[in-house]
């Protein structure tokens, strides 16, 4: 080990950065997280650095660093991106006994700045002695994804609680308590502002090893591509005792559930369509009252055509704690796939999310508004109602040539895009015989074939 890792107390210490360009900015972003007094010497600093100076985050001196600037400083960063100038600054710093780092110059540096995962006071520093920056980045990305953003706050609160937790026997029992705190109960409590009570409740639970409190997370599974899951959704799956999922949720996503979790397909045959929702509500409540962590996994975003309110009402009625984890809705995934934007200056300043049918059958909408030129709508559950929608829009004066694009299985490898017009929507759609979920964009055409090609091959483009 050529470089020995230490955590240096820089609170109130002076750190000097020579340079005002990209390299300096990158270092300053890190340094500004510390409690150090930062001085930047640069005759031509970037506007961003001027802003930081105006905000009081650092002091900017508009000239090159000079010998008298260095005595008493803790660290010196040569970040002028000019080798001769950095060498001059480094020599001045060394003469004043200040440790030197020259950006991207391991050989002439006394210390190196590691890649950092910051969950202050929990800080992870990753170094490879300059050997493999790519590896350091990969490890950092991995840790960023694994450590909840609020871990720092949880650690601060947890530290004050350490003493109380000592009543649990050392070893497994105490470890389980802290694991629950950091990865399950703590993050959930932060969202509801009840960390103080949550810690005591959690401790009681572990002390008695009984009366566990259940919780239901109503989680968005996104459109199908597991990479489009949020980190929060992944963590919820990671800790779930029970996962109750829709039929539309992709198998690759269910794979991510904790190995011991019970998976329940809430879309499976056997539930009559009229009672299915009640059955789902009952299942959620039944598992949560047993103290289970339940994930109610819904396609896309749970707040979009997801019957979320009915589920929340049932949980509230049973006094069960719940939280919502948003997801990427099908419209967002589908519009990205055709290289378009849901809203566009000068074209449409609003977009409607509409459903083809509701509990009463075909859903009525403000057809007159939708028929105006430039209107854009994302139509969910619109396959079987395409002819109805087409008829209504044409009847209200919509231009028959209005572009309509149907995206089946958005974000999935077997996705298909069908570009057509309002007048041709039917019979084009019926002829395409789509088997998967599909979203219909009224008023949007794919930007162009190029935008579609690289990530998502179009198997069909009918016009």
Is there a contact between 82 and 102 (Cβ–Cβ < 8 Å)?
no
For ligand SAH, the closer of residues 31 and 363 by Cβ is 363
For ligand SAH, the closer of residues 303 and 424 by Cβ is 303
In terms of Cβ atoms closer than 10 Å to its own Cβ (0-12, 13-18, 19+), residue 202 is buried
Collect all residues with Cβ–Cβ distance below 8 Å to 290 and sequence separation of at least 6: 212, 214
For ligand SAH, the closer of residues 340 and 409 by Cβ is 409
Is there a contact between 340 and 452 (Cβ–Cβ < 8 Å)?
no
- SS3 of residue 117 by DSSP: strand
For ligand SAH, the closer of residues 148 and 437 by Cβ is 437
Q: Scanning the structure block, which residue is given the tokens 């939280």?
A: 323
- SS3 of residue 338 by DSSP: coil
For ligand SAH, the closer of residues 29 and 247 by Cβ is 247
Collect all residues with Cβ–Cβ distance below 8 Å to 90 and sequence separation of at least 6: 76, 78, 100, 102, 108
Nearest approach, Cβ of 250 to ligand SAH (angstroms)? Answer: 8
For every residue of 120-173, DSSP letters joined together read TTEEEEE--TTS-HHHHHHHHHHHHHHS-TTHHHHHHHHHHHHHHHTTSPTTHH
Q: Scanning the structure block, which residue is given the tokens 């004050």?
A: 160
For ligand SAH, the closer of residues 219 and 439 by Cβ is 439
Contacting residues toward ligand SAH, per CB under 6 A: 223-224, 248, 298-301, 304-306, 329-330, 334, 380-381, 407, 409-412, 437-439
Nearest approach, Cβ of 393 to ligand SAH (angstroms)? Answer: 18
Helices (H), strands (E): how many in the chain? 17, 19
Is there a contact between 396 and 371 (Cβ–Cβ < 8 Å)?
yes
For ligand SAH, the closer of residues 112 and 381 by Cβ is 381
267: nearest Cα among 250, 253, 289: 250
For ligand SAH, the closer of residues 65 and 295 by Cβ is 295
- SS3 of residue 42 by DSSP: coil
Collect all residues with Cβ–Cβ distance below 8 Å to 234 and sequence separation of at least 6: 145, 256
334: nearest Cα among 220, 412, 393: 412
Nearest approach, Cβ of 444 to ligand SAH (angstroms)? Answer: 14
Evaluated on CA atoms 132, 134, 138, 144, the torsion sign reads positive
Question: Residues with catalytic annotation?
Answer: 246, 268
For ligand SAH, the closer of residues 76 and 380 by Cβ is 380
Nearest approach, Cβ of 433 to ligand SAH (angstroms)? Answer: 16
The Cβ of residue 79 has, within 10 Å, a number of other Cβ atoms equal to: 27
Whole-number Å distance between alpha carbons of 34 and 29: 10
Q: Can you read off the two tokens belonging to residue 237? A: 């799956």
Nearest approach, Cβ of 318 to ligand SAH (angstroms)? Answer: 23
Whole-number Å distance between alpha carbons of 40 and 45: 9
148-176 CB burial, b ≥16 within 10 A, e <16: bebbbbbbebbeebeeebeebeeeeebee
Nearest approach, Cβ of 92 to ligand SAH (angstroms)? Answer: 59
Nearest approach, Cβ of 349 to ligand SAH (angstroms)? Answer: 22
Strands lying side by side in the sheet with 262-265: 262-265, 242-245, 293-298, 215-220, 321-325
Residue number of the CB closest to ligand SAH reads: 300
């Amino acid at each position: 080990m050529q470089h020995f890792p230490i955590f240096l107390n820089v609170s109130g210490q002076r750190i000097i950065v020579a340079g005002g360009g990209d390299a300096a900015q990158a270092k300053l972003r890190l340094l500004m997280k510390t409690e150090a007094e930062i001085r930047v010497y640069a005759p031509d600093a970037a506007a961003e650095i001027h802003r930081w100076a105006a905000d009081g985050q650092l002091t900017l001196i508009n000239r090159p660093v000079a010998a008298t600037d260095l005595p008493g400083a803790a660290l010196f960063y040569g970040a002028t991106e000019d080798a001769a100038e950095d060498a001059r600054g480094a020599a001045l710093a060394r003469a004043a006994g200040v440790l030197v780092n020259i950006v991207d110059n391991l050989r002439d540096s006394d210390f190196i700045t590691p890649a950092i995962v910051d969950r202050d006071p929990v800080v992870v520093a990753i170094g490879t002695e300059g050997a493999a920056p790519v590896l350091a980045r990969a490890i950092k990305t991995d840790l960023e994804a694994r450590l909840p953003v609020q871990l720092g706050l949880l650690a601060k609160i947890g530290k004050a609680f350490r003493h109380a937790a000592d009543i649990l026997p050392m070893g497994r029992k105490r470890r389980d308590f802290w694991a629950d705190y950091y990865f399950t109960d703590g993050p959930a409590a932060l969202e509801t502002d009840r960390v103080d009570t949550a810690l005591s409740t959690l401790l009681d639970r572990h002390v008695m090893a009984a009366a566990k409190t259940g919780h239901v997370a109503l989680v968005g599974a996104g459109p199908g591509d597991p990479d489009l899951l949020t980190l929060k959704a992944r963590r919820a799956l990671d800790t779930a005792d029970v996962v109750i999922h829709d039929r539309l949720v992709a198998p690759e996503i269910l794979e991510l559930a904790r190995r011991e979790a019970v998976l329940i397909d809430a879309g499976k045959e056997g539930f009559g369509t009229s009672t299915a929702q009640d059955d789902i509500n009952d299942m959620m409540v039944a598992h949560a009252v047993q103290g289970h962590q339940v994930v109610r996994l819904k396609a896309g975003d749970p707040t979009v055509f997801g019957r979320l309110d009915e589920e929340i009402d049932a949980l509230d009625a049973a006094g069960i704690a719940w939280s919502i984890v948003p997801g990427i809705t099908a419209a967002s995934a589908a519009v990205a796939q055709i290289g378009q934007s849901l809203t566009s200056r000068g074209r449409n300043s609003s977009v409607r999310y509409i459903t083809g049918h509701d509990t009463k059958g075909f859903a009525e909408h403000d057809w007159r508004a939708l028929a105006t030129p430039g209107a854009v709508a994302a139509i969910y559950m619109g396959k079987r109602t395409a002819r109805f929608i087409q008829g209504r829009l044409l009847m209200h004066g919509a231009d028959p040539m209005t572009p309509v694009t149907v995206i089946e299985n958005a974000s999935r490898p077997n996705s298909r895009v069908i570009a057509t017009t309002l007048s041709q929507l039917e019979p084009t759609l019926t002829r395409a015989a789509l088997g998967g979920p599909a979203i219909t964009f009224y008023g949007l055409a794919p930007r162009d074939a190029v935008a579609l090609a690289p990530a998502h091959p179009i198997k069909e483009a009918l016009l």
